[in-house]
Copies of this chain bind each other. A is one copy, B any other.
């Protein structure tokens, strides 16, 4: 279709729902018009904007640093949860859960300044590759979603990430890959301390500040954004509170969910992925008014590279 703003999306209910929603909220004088300042769209990251299989990128990032630390202090190799991470012992990793990924991240990066962390993250992203798909992690972003973000912004939306992943790792690549600047990234975070050294520095502490998952997502949207989104996009039960917070506001609302059902081009999974299951949100999508996006059916292309 000439001038199609979403060329990587197949025609179908999901694409129509998006195009129809954007047309309605931008129609000046129409009954569903929403002023640009209120056109807030929030996207989960892992599994929604980029691949989260076989494990969230956060895992590989933290583990690589953990391995380096364990070379200097071999006792880490015998302590849990570090032992499980180094050995990729899936039952134990699953037992510690997604929050465990963040806690290991907090531990291995503690003491770094934010500037050091940014440099380290950029270096890691530039040099590491996904173990199965054999490409840089930053090439795991989904083309249909990158198109959708750009389409929303072209229609006056402000696009945000609201992720369970570590806020600083996402900020290291979100502007380049998604066009989303650091101040529009919300995520899990560690506590920090400001200190005057040669210059003022923000030091990362080994303790979680916020685990941005489930009911915490709407609370963090309120803290960071201060407005209820009119569009939200997720892929797991960790996003359900955000989707319902969005969908139950007054006026036109759109809540969307990626269903990973494409083993050929990406991965097929939902409720069995214990680190971030999609179960309740899938079972109750109709009742909650959530639009399911099937990767297999709705996306013409998957990856941006």
Contacts and interface: CB of A to CB of B under 8 A. Distances in A.
B226 A185 contact: yes
Interface residues of A, number: 43
Interface stretch (A3-11, A61-69, A195-203): A195-203
A271 interface: no
A219 B192 contact: yes
Interface string A193-232: 1111011101000000100000111110011111100000
Interface stretch (A149-157, A175-183, A290-298): A175-183
Contact of A202 (B181, B183, B218): B218
Interface stretch (A43-51, A74-82, A135-143, A242-250): A242-250
A103 B152 CA distance: 40
Interface string A248-260: 1100000000000
Contact of A245 (B175, B183, B194, B218): B194
A158 interface: yes
A225 B194 contact: no
B183 A224 contact: yes
Contacts of A247: 200
Interface string A229-244: 0000000000001001
A199 B241 contact: no
A52 interface: no
A151 to B, nearest CB: 20
B224 A224 contact: yes
Contact of A215 (B37, B184, B185, B193): B193
B223 A182 contact: no
B224 A171 contact: no
Contacts of A241: 194, 196, 200
A189 interface: yes
Given A168-B226, A194-B241, A249 B202 contact: no
A247 B200 CA distance: 9
A106 interface: no
A200 B227 CA distance: 13
Nearest to A226: B182
Interface of A: 37, 40, 114, 158, 160, 167-168, 171, 175, 181-185, 189, 192-196, 198-200, 202, 209, 215-219, 222-227, 241, 244-249
6 contacts: A37-B181, A182-B226, A194-B215, A194-B218, A200-B248, A202-B219
Closest 7 CB pairs of A and B: A182-B226, A199-B248, A200-B245, A194-B218, A194-B215, A183-B225, A202-B222
Given A195-B215, A200-B245, 17 more contacts: A37-B181, A114-B222, A167-B223, A168-B226, A182-B225, A182-B226, A183-B184, A183-B224, A185-B226, A189-B223, A193-B215, A194-B241, A199-B249, A200-B247, A200-B248, A202-B218, A202-B219
